[in-house]
Amino acid sequence: MSKMIFTADGVTKKFGGVTALDSVSMKIPKDSIFGLIGPNGAGKTTFFNTLTGLYQVDGGNFTFDDKPLNVKAPHEVAEVGIARTFQNIRLFGEMSVLENVMVGRHVRTKAGAFGAIFRPPSVRREEAETEARSRELLAYVGLERRAGEKSRTLAYGEQRRLEIARALATDPKLIALDEPAAGMNATETVELRKLIERIAKDGKTVLLIEHDMRLVMNVCHHIVVLDYGKKIADGTPAHIQKDAAVIKAYLGGAHGETK
């Protein structure tokens, strides 16, 4: 198998008496599109939040890019090369579309307060580079013409794409998308699918958490299914679709209750 960018080994997370993640392990191959699915409350978002540093794990560990991933604060995650988007869009609404992406460049730039005030040539150059790179990324997601508008004025699908551009601006090796297709119509979803495929082709690994089965099955190379905090299946889309445990988890029966 190809080189791994990310591995989770026996990751456990408890909230009081509830075990949200129960010894979950997975390996994400480099430059792949990796799907993480499961019914509501399966622990997808918890997994996501532990890996992006919002929660500390209670057991197990992560390896990222051949090094143990050991983050104390969320802001360190972006520095290592993991970027994320949010299930409920979290843009900087009062800032312009361009500025949103420029904020993403924060971790890869270094001008401080005195540089900001006195603007020596090095800072001017950095600012120009930040802006040029951000415009490139806006063009990449097809938002270059909205650069000057406040991001809260964008349409829903555009806001999703802007979040992706902002995440890409941190130069991530792994980009984690938390339900990017939620609330999108069919056309927007097709566009999103093309975008995700392009990102993977351009040498970034994509971790996709998604409810839209058609999107997941079409776009992912590899899928892990969670249910009640446990991993119940792990394989290619074709394999997952036939897996008895997955069908049971989604259609009910095993637990004696349906949703």
Interface with other proteins includes 113 (CB under 8 A)?
yes
Which one, 105 or 161, has the nearer CB to other proteins? Answer: 105
Contact yes or no for 126/160 (Cβ under 8 A): no
Q: Two tokens at 71?
A: 């983050």
Q: Which is nearer to other proteins, 105 or 231 (CB)?
A: 105
Taking each helix axis from N to C end, the angle separating 186-201 and 156-168, rounded to the nearest 10 degrees, works out to: 10
Q: Based on the shown chain and the rule CB under 8 A, indicate whether residue 120 belongs to the binding site for other proteins.
A: no
What is the closest distance, in whole angstroms, from the C-beta atom of residue 117 to other proteins in the complex? 5
- Spatial neighbors of 191 by CB under 8 A, at least 6 apart, are 142, 157, 161
Q: By CB under 8 A, is residue 150 in contact with other proteins? A: yes
The correct pick among 83, 164, 195, 224 for binding other proteins (CB under 8 A) is 83
> Counting contacts by CB under 8 A, is residue 182 touching other proteins?
no
Residue 75 engages other proteins in binding (rule: CB under 8 A): yes
Both tokens of 128, joined, read 């120009």
Can you spell out the DSSP letters for 48-61?
HHHHTTSS--SEEE
Pick the stretch among 30-38, 78-86, 198-206, 221-229 that binds other proteins (CB under 8 A).
78-86
What's the rounded Cα separation, in Å, for the pair 128 and 81? 23
Residue 35: other Cβ atoms inside 10 A: 23
Nearest to 14 by CA among 59, 61, 74, 71: 59
Binding positions for other proteins, rule: CB under 8 A: 52, 54, 73-79, 83-84, 86, 90-96, 98-99, 102-107, 109, 111-113, 115-119, 123, 126-128, 130-132, 135-136, 139, 147-150, 153, 166, 170
